[in-house]
C-alpha cells in the first residue's frame, strides 16, 4: 500500500472562506483535534498576513508535537522570514512557498516574465532552505500553466532544495483526467522529482476537487492538501473526510492508505462546524446527518438483514455513534458518561459537571434525549459556562399591538446586571438590553440564523449570530436551548464574550 500524506489547510485556506474566521483559542482547539485525527501536516496560517496570523501560527507550532506545522509564504524574503519566525519552535517545521506560473497570473498579477519567475523560484526556495530542511514549493495556478515551463519551475525548485512539489488546481478548472495526465507529465519531465513528495491542492469550483485529488493519487501523487468539511476559498477545497474514506473504502482500487484515525472524522467535522457557525449540509458525504440514514422501507429491511446491502462503510468507522441508549430525566451521571464515551467524547470532571447540569435541565423539557441532543450539549459546553458574562434569566413580553419588551439578567464576574428594553421584536429588545447594560451600544448584528439540531416538536434549537464591533471585526456566537428565544440570547451573549476576550 502506498502511504498518502494528509496536508490539512483548514486553518489557512479554510479560514479564508467567508464567515469561517476563528480566534486564537478556537484555532488551537482545532489544531489539537487535527493532531488527534492524525493529519501529517497542519498548515497553521499565513504568518505575514497580520500580527494575529503570525501569533496563531507560532502558538500552534508550540501546541502540537506529532504533526509537521507549516506556514505559507510568498516568494519574498519578508514572507519567508515571517514564516520561519512563526514555525521555528515546532518539532517538525515546514516553510511553504508559492509563486504563480500561469501566463495570465504572471502577466496581470505578478508583472513578471518567465525568466524572472524561474530566477525568483530558485533564489527564494534556496533562501527558505537556509532556515529549514522541509520546504514545499507550490506553483500557483499550475493546472492552467504551460506544461514545459511548469516542469522547469519545479526542476528549479528541486535544485534549490524543495522537498515537496505541490501542484494546485487553484481555480478548480481541471478535470480528473487532465490532473492525472499533468502528474504523469511532471513525473517524466521534472529533474529530481523522484526524491520529492508530489502534492496536489484542488479547489471545488466545478465540484470535482475530490475526484481530481483521487485521480492524482492514482497517477502517483503522495501528498494531498485538503480541509475538514471542504471549507475554503469560493466553492471550497477538496474534502478531507471524503478523500480519506474513499481511500479507506476502495483500497482495492487505489492501493493507497493514510495515517488518519477515521473514528475522529465526525468529531473533527462537528467541532469545525460549531466553531465557525456554518452547519453541515444533511446530504454531505461521510459526515452529513443523512449519510447513514435510511427512510425507505426497502432500504430499512435490507440494512436490518445485512447493513452492507445499502452501506459501503460502517458509521462507527468515521465516529458516528449508533444511538441505542435512551436517556431521560431519570438517568444518572454514570449512564451519561458511558453514552459520551460510546460517542467518542472524553470530558474532564468539570466539563462533565457542566454537561450533566444542562442534560438534567434539558431532560425536564424533553421526554427522550437523543444522541444529537447529547452531542449538541457537549459541543456547546464552553459556550454555556465559560466567558465574561453568563445569562441568569430573561422575561420577554411580545404580541401584536403591544410593546415588545425584554428583561435580561446577566452575571459578570461577581456582579449581577439587570436591564429592560423595548424593541421591534423580542430579540431586538433583548439585544438592546444586553448592549445597554454592558455599555456596548456600538455593536452591529451582522447576521442571525436559527436551526433545529434535533427532530420533533420539542427539538433543540441552535442560534448563530455574527456580531461586528466598531472596528469592523466580526465574532460568531452560538446558543442552544429548546426555547428559541433563550438560544438566541445565549448566542448573543456568547458572541459578546468572544468580543470582550479579544479586546483583553
Q: Tell me which architecture the domain covering 383-503 has in CATH.
A: 2-Layer Sandwich (3.30)
The pLDDT tens digits of the residues spanning 122-159 come to 999 999 999 999 999 999 999 999 999 999 999 999 99
Check: CB of residue 257 under 8 Å from CB of residue 4: yes
| Distance in angstroms (rounded) separating the CA atoms of residues 308 and 141 | 41
Please state the domain extents for the chain: 2-276, 383-503
- pLDDT at position 245 is 97
The pLDDT tens digits of the residues spanning 438-491 come to 999 899 999 999 988 776 677 788 899 999 998 888 999 888 888 899 999 999
**Residue 158 DSSP class:** H
Residue for grid cell 505575514? 48
> Which option is the CATH number for 2-276: 3.65.10.10, 3.30.450.20, 3.40.50.2300, 3.20.20.70?
3.20.20.70
**DSSP H or E segment with residue 5:** strand 5-8
From the number of C-beta atoms within 10 Å of its C-beta (0-12, 13-18, 19+), residue 401 rates as exposed
52-56, 65-69, 348-352, 443-447 — which is least confidently predicted? 348-352
Helices (H) and strands (E) in the chain, counts: 18, 16
Based on its alpha-carbon atoms, the radius of gyration of the chain, rounded to whole angstroms, reads 25
Torsion angles phi and psi, residue 340, rounded to 5 = -60, -40
- pLDDT at position 100 is 98
Nearest CA to 137 out of 152, 117, 153, 148 is that of 153
Nearest CA to 44 out of 87, 4, 91, 77 is that of 87
Q: Which has the higher per-residue pLDDT, 320 or 218? A: 218
Q: How many residues does the chain have?
A: 504
Mean pLDDT calculated for residue range 44-52: 95
Q: What single string gives the DSSP state of each residue in 219-269?
A: HT--EEEEBGGG--STT-B-BHHHHHHHHHHTHHHH-EE----GGGHHHHH
For the chain, report the end-to-end CA distance as a whole number of angstroms. Answer: 50
- pLDDT at position 382 is 60
Query: 6: which strand partners?
Result: 224
Amino acid at each position: 500500500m502506498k502511504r498518502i500524506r494528509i496536508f490539512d489547510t483548514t486553518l489557512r485556506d479554510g479560514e479564508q472562506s467567508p464567515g469561517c474566521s476563528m480566534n486564537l483559542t478556537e484555532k488551537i482547539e482545532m489544531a489539537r483535534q487535527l493532531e488527534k485525527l492524525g493529519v501529517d501536516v497542519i498548515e497553521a496560517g499565513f504568518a505575514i498576513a497580520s500580527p494575529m496570523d503570525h501569533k496563531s501560527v507560532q502558538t500552534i507550532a508550540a501546541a502540537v508535537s506529532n504533526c509537521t506545522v507549516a506556514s505559507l509564504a510568498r516568494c519574498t524574503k519578508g514572507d519567508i522570514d515571517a514564516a520561519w519566525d512563526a514555525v521555528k519552535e515546532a518539532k517538525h517545521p515546514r516553510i511553504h512557498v508559492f509563486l504563480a506560473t500561469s501566463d495570465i497570473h504572471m502577466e496581470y498579477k505578478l508583472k513578471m516574465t518567465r525568466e524572472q519567475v524561474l530566477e525568483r523560484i530558485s533564489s527564494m526556495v534556496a533562501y527558505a532552505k537556509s532556515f529549514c530542511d522541509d520546504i514545499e514549493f507550490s506553483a500557483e495556478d499550475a493546472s492552467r500553466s504551460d506544461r514545459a515551463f511548469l516542469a522547469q519551475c519545479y526542476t528549479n525548485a528541486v535544485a534549490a532544495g524543495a522537498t515537496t512539489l505541490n501542484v494546485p488546481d487553484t481555480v478548480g478548472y481541471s478535470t480528473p483526467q487532465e490532473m492525472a495526465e499533468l502528474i504523469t507529465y511532471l513525473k517524466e519531465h521534472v529533474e529530481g522529482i523522484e526524491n520529492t513528495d508530489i502534492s496536489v491542492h484542488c479547489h471545488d469550483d466545478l465540484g470535482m476537487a475530490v475526484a481530481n485529488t483521487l485521480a492524482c493519487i492514482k497517477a502517483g501523487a503522495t501528498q494531498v492538501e485538503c480541509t475538514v468539511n471542504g471549507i475554503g476559498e469560493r466553492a471550497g477545497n477538496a474534502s478531507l473526510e471524503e478523500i480519506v474514506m474513499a481511500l479507506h473504502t476502495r483500497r482495492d482500487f487505489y492501493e493507497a492508505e493514510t495515517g488518519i484515525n477515521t473514528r475522529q472524522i465526525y468529531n473533527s467535522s462537528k467541532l469545525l462546524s460549531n466553531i465557525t457557525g456554518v452547519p453541515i449540509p444533511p446530504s454531505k458525504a461521510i459526515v452529513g446527518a443523512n449519510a447513514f440514514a435510511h427512510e425507505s422501507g426497502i432500504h430499512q429491511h435490507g440494512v436490518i438483514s445485512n447493513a452492507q446491502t445499502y452501506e459501503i462503510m460502517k458509521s462507527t468507522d468515521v465516529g458516528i455513534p449508533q444511538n441505542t441508549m435512551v436517556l431521560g430525566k431519570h438517568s444518572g451521571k454514570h449512564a451519561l458518561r458511558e453514552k459520551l464515551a460510546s460517542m467518542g467524547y472524553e470530558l474532564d470532571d468539570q466539563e462533565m459537571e457542566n454537561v450533566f447540569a444542562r442534560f438534567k435541565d434539558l431532560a425536564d423539557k424533553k421526554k427522550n434525549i437523543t444522541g444529537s441532543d447529547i452531542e449538541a450539549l457537549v459541543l456547546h459546553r464552553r459556550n454555556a459556562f465559560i466567558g465574561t458574562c453568563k445569562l441568569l434569566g430573561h422575561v420577554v413580553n411580545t404580541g401584536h399591538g403591544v410593546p415588545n419588551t425584554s428583561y435580561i439578567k446577566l452575571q459578570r464576574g461577581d456582579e449581577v446586571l439587570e436591564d429592560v428594553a423595548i424593541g421591534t421584536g423580542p430579540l431586538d429588545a433583548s439585544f438592546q438590553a444586553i448592549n445597554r447594560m454592558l455599555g456596548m451600544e456600538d455593536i452591529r448584528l451582522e447576521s442571525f440564523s436559527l436551526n433545529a439540531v434535533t427532530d420533533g416538536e420539542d427539538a433543540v434549537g441552535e442560534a448563530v449570530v455574527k456580531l461586528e464591533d466598531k472596528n469592523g471585526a466580526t465574532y460568531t456566537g452560538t446558543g442552544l436551548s429548546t426555547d428559541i428565544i433563550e438560544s438566541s440570547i445565549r448566542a448573543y451573549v456568547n458572541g459578546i464574550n468572544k468580543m470582550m476576550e479579544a479586546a483583553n
